[in-house]
Amino acid sequence: MRILTAILGALFILQSCQDQPRIGPDGDLSAFSYYPIAYELEEPSRFVKMQAFEDNPLTKAGVALGRQLFYDPILSRDSTRSCSSCHLQAFGFSDTMQVSLGIENRKGKRNAIALTNLGYHYTQFFWDGRVASLEEQALIPVEDSLELGNSWEEVEEILRKHPTYPVDFRAAFGIENIAEIDRHLVARALAQFERTFVSADSKFDQVLKGEATLTPAEERGRLIFFDESEVLPSGECAHCHVGPLLTTLTFFNNGLDNTDGALVDVGQESVTGNVFDRGKFKTPSLRNIALTAPYMHDGRFTSLEEVIEQYNKGGHYSKNESPNIRPLGLQDQDKADLIAFLHTLTDTSYLERAELSNPFVH
Amino acid sequence: MLALLGLSLTFFSADCGGREDDLVDEFGEVELNFQGFFGAEPLVMLAKEYDYEAGMDVRFQLFQFYVSEINLISKSGEKVRLGEIELINFENVQSDEAASKGLSFAFGNIPAGEYRAIEMGIGVSGDLNEKAPSDYAVGHPLAFQGNYWSGLSSYIFTKIEGNADLNGDGEFTEKLTFHIGEKEDVPLYQTISLDYDLTVSKDQSTVLPLSVDLKQVISPNSSNFLDFREVSQDHTNQAAVYTLIVDNLQKNAIRIRQ
């Protein structure tokens, strides 16, 4: 009886295996089903509504594929680095390096910008705003010799020959043949995943929803941050770091250097060619700012104390320095309270959200 | 009684957009074109420096303001809505060429006919100012977070930013930031009307040329100006400062361009 059961079981497994769809001759994927299911993203009510992204709508399979690609070092030339090497969830999808390291520990040019609420960034990505969409952004690090150091031709070839990715691309985008796997589909998948990076549950968010209260120090810091007190000094922070995203998404010269002369990194000028954009960089979000040291586009400051001290001094004059950068007159208690408030912007749930985590780690 | 009825019908007609004799059921486009000036000179951000009062010089980085409830007034007095709100933002006007081009806002589907004036509210109207950026999709003039004070539940109606050279030594080190928005008990919104004969023709675009003189806003005359030696910043907390800016923007600075 046992023998009969074993034989029947083996036959069942064999039959099941034979029923599994396979990639057909010449890379035909049509045996695999394609039923795109919309990914329902929960949008915080205080946020400006996210664009529809009609050319790349979020689907469950698309987001899942983007998640794999984000964490998979397969995109790098020597399979050592992935997007997640510089954008670690534990640090608000930033890293702890002054500037990012690429393959062979090659030193990058700028600090890894923290990734939060990217679906609400309607234009101009990177510190210098050189691309207009997440889909365009995702194309660049793969071929940057200081980052993943690969070529898209190589990546496309590897993905087409991969044992599982072709089926995943089929599920995500309905392609009929592995030959259709290309850089643009990789970028679309990465963009879909990154648009699910919604962070809206910090202590400050909870306060705004009436679910928590700030300590006296935090509240004092909030008043300084938003310039809402007639008696406390203004931090002038909210000119640039405002709204639910805690950034205006615009570009400023924040007075780090005198930018009227030569400059190591000219920022937005390198994109626009406009001398009045020299030394301007995209205003980063302050969400999870306590976790994303070091700070500034070049990671020059190792602590929030150093950042606040810089702003308190009023910056270095340049023709296009934002006039909102001015000596603040903050005293030690003001600085400490401001930092206490900045810590309320940490969203621990974002750092622990399973669906944003590395799918290759169980 | 009949007279009252007639008056009521007149108001009803105007409010509901009914066609008067001077408007027809054909449609064209109206383009508002704002050119900025500082006195007689074109208003250019960053690239130009201007003589100011008391030996000071000034250079600008940003000048912007909202206009709301923009209407054309027909010859018979009918209001035709051009737009709900626009942000007039000179930040990227950084050359004479850009200044002469001005900032244009096109409004389609405007009934063809004869018009005699334009009216618009300077600032954000009360109804709109009760909204917040989260009420709008990206790209809407009121969606930009940087123009909203969440703590005060008000949009920032007007921003002027730049630098001043206080003593004529060529160093523009004095930073200027004037941000004007409504606070409790400080109503700052006002509707203005400018006479202008305008004909809208079917399927044609007609330009309505406007000028905005920033000098009139901050320095209407040599005895009444923002003295940067005494004040270089205001976030609508110094009545003398924001009143001067708001009053002059509403009453003196915006004109039909000749």
The structural domains of chain A, with segments of one domain joined by +, span 22-199, 203-346
Give dist(CA A56, CA A317) in Å, integer.
43
Let me know: does B72 contact B172? Beta carbons within 8 Å.
no
* ipTM given for this complex: 0.88
List alpha helices for A96-164, DSSP H: 134-137, 140-143, 152-161
B223 and chain A: CB distance < 8 Å anywhere?
no
The beta-carbon neighbor of B151 closest among A45, A51, A226 is A226
Return mean pLDDT, chain B: 91
B175 and chain A: CB distance < 8 Å anywhere?
yes
A271: which residues sit within 8 A by CB, 6+ positions away? A128, A129, A130, A277
Ranges of chain B with pLDDT below 50: 1-18
Give dist(CA A14, CA B140) in Å, integer.
60
Residue B39 is classified by DSSP as T
Q: Which residue of A has its CA nearest to B163?
A: A323
Q: With a CB-CB cutoff of 8 Å, which residues 46-75 of chain A face chain B?
A: 46-49, 51
A298: which residues sit within 8 A by CB, 6+ positions away? A98, A99, A110, A111, A264, A265
Q: One-letter amino acid identity for B156?
A: I
B64 pairs with which residues across the strands?
B89, B159
Q: Which residue of A has its CA nearest to B137?
A: A49
Q: CA angle A197-A201-A205, nearest 5°?
A: 125
The beta-carbon neighbor of B138 closest among A122, A227, A317 is A122
Token pair for B176: 């200027």
CATH class belonging to A203-346: mainly alpha
Q: With a CB-CB cutoff of 8 Å, which residues 92-121 of chain B face chain A?
A: 94
Which of B2, B36, B4 is CA-nearest to residue B214?
B36
* Domains A22-199 and A203-346 belong to one CATH topology: yes
How many other C-beta atoms can be found within 10 angstroms of the C-beta atom of residue A82? 21
How many contacts (CB atoms, under 8 Å) link A and B?
74
Burial of A35 (0-12, 13-18, 19+ CB in 10 A): exposed
The beta-carbon neighbor of B145 closest among A248, A276, A322 is A248
A230 and chain B: CB distance < 8 Å anywhere?
yes
Question: How far B183 CA sits from the closest chain A CA (Å)?
Answer: 12
pLDDT, residue A3, reads 56
Ranges of chain A with pLDDT below 70: 1-18, 362
Q: Which chain A residues are closer than 8 Å to B237 by Cβ?
A: 230
Question: How far A150 CA sits from the closest chain B CA (Å)?
Answer: 35
The beta-carbon neighbor of A243 closest among B46, B145, B173 is B145
Residue of A43, A48, A231 to mutate for B, most B C-beta atoms under 10 A = A48
Give dist(CA A298, CA A295) in Å, integer.
7
Give dist(CA B249, CA B103) in Å, integer.
17
Determine the CATH number of domain A22-199: 1.10.760.10
CA atoms within 13 A on the CB side of B68: 17
**Cβ–Cβ of A48/B136 closer than 8 Å?**
yes
B49 pairs with which residues across the strands?
B59
pLDDT, residue B14, reads 42
